[in-house]
Structure 1
Amino acid sequence: MTSDVQTWLKTDGEIYLKDIGIKKDQSILDFGCGKGHYTIPAAKIVGKKGLVYAQDKEKEALDKVIKKAKAEGLKNIKAMKTKGELKIDLNDKSLDAVLLYDVLHYHDLEERRKIYAEVYRILKKGALLSVFPRHHQEYMHLKLDEVKKEIEKSNFRLEGKLLKRLMHDDDYVKDHVLNFRKR
């Protein structure tokens, strides 16, 4: 684990997530959670009465997230293994926030529309959808304004376009995050 990741998991991740609107006692989905760079700090914020669903198609990634959670004494993370399907196995209007970080570039427009529809279904009215759409240079075809328009067409309203220092893979980056609210 790099020193950047250690710092992120220890302090910076919680500061970042609180700043974008994650709060105590919330229920959150980290869609495509990967190594858990957002799952672990989110679980610390939401506390014992909150819950973080860590969804990924990679079993190894989920195993690492659960191992990190145990090491931190966190018991409020539920791993959700998928086969890459776009259906989210959660109840309607059951979540306070969804994080879509570093995942949109893997999907074409039609698949992204399905993801937005599923996120809309599982979020409570007024709940947060936070999106970090950027990835590596080869995926730069996915422009911020295009993502913004796609999500707004799915009945979300843009709350803010934030320039933030956040974790991408295992390094800090400064980039834009889009925060939406379910209408």
Structure 2
Amino acid sequence: MHAKKEPQRCGHARHGRGPSSYWMHDPGQVFAELKLKPGDCFLDLGCGPGDYSLQASKLVGDSGLVFALDKQQESMEQLKEKTAAQGCSYIHAMEANILAPLPLTNACVDVCFLCTVLHVPQVQKAGAELFKEVRRVLKPGGRLAIIECKKGDQQFGPPIHMRLSPEEIDEALDEHGFLRISLADLGLNYMVQYAVQ
């Protein structure tokens, strides 16, 4: 006789479900730093399996919105199935290239989130266009939050030559009018947040 499976709550994440950094650090600390509130619009760029998007949906609630964008069709199809099954109609999973113009209107996002995406060489090369688009979709007073692996010799994560320090990210964002407002130590990773100057 099989045990009855408990229904999954919207926003519940599990280990080992595709490429995700969700369990490399304490997700509770990440969301405590993000300070999402009901009614917020959260944009997860390069969302992978959508762990952060699902958790964000619990915080913004049905008065808010979550946009989850990734170029991997399979990940987006799985996330759409999951959100439909759990009744999360306010999560919009979209297959999209985040290095192209974003399929969002101007000034609609409260928090834009980039987790372990910025170190990817193609993203770094197209960084100027990406940051222009992020600035376009952010509301006045909106924030950009970036998580990256600390520089150091670790057994997992990107090679050390690909890793970015907070200061390198500061420099890349400064010319686009972003000002650092916080830096949080997540153990193996860090999260830096920016506001538009």
Q: Same fold per TM (> 0.5)?
A: yes
Do 2:179 and 2:195's aligned partners in 1 also have CA atoms closer than 8 Å? yes
Hey, what's the Cα distance between the residues in 1 that align with 2:27 and 2:104?
25
The 5 Å alignment of 1:71-150 reads 71-83=85-97, 85-106=99-120, 107=122, 109-134=124-149, 135-138=157-160, 140-150=162-172
1:93-143 CA-to-partner distances (Å, cap 9, x unmatched) read 111110011211223544011111100011011111000133422553433
Q: 2:184 aligns with which of 140, 157, 162?
A: 162
Do 2:99 and 2:130's aligned partners in 1 also have CA atoms closer than 8 Å? no
Do 1:14 and 1:41's aligned partners in 2 also have CA atoms closer than 8 Å? no
Match of 1:20 in 2: 34
Root-mean-square deviation (Å)? 2.5
In structure 1, the residue corresponding to 2:76 is in which secondary structure? helix
Q: Higher strand proportion, which one?
A: 1
Structure 1: 5+ residue runs without aligned partners?
166-173
**TM-score normalised by structure 1 residue count:** 0.82
1:25/1:94 CA distance change after superposition, 3 Å? same
1:105/1:16 CA distance change after superposition, 3 Å? closer
Whichever of the two has the greater Rg, that structure is 2
The alignment covers a number of residue pairs equal to 171
Hey, what's the Cα distance between the residues in 2 that align with 1:19 and 1:108?
24
Residue 53 of structure 1 and its aligned partner are, at CA, apart by: 0.5
Residue 84 of structure 1 and its aligned partner are, at CA, apart by: 5.6
In structure 1, the residue corresponding to 2:42 is in which secondary structure? strand
Hey, what's the Cα distance between the residues in 2 that align with 1:75 and 1:119?
24
In structure 2, the residue corresponding to 1:16 is in which secondary structure? helix
**TM-score normalised by structure 2 residue count:** 0.76
Q: 1:50 aligns with which of 64, 67, 75?
A: 64
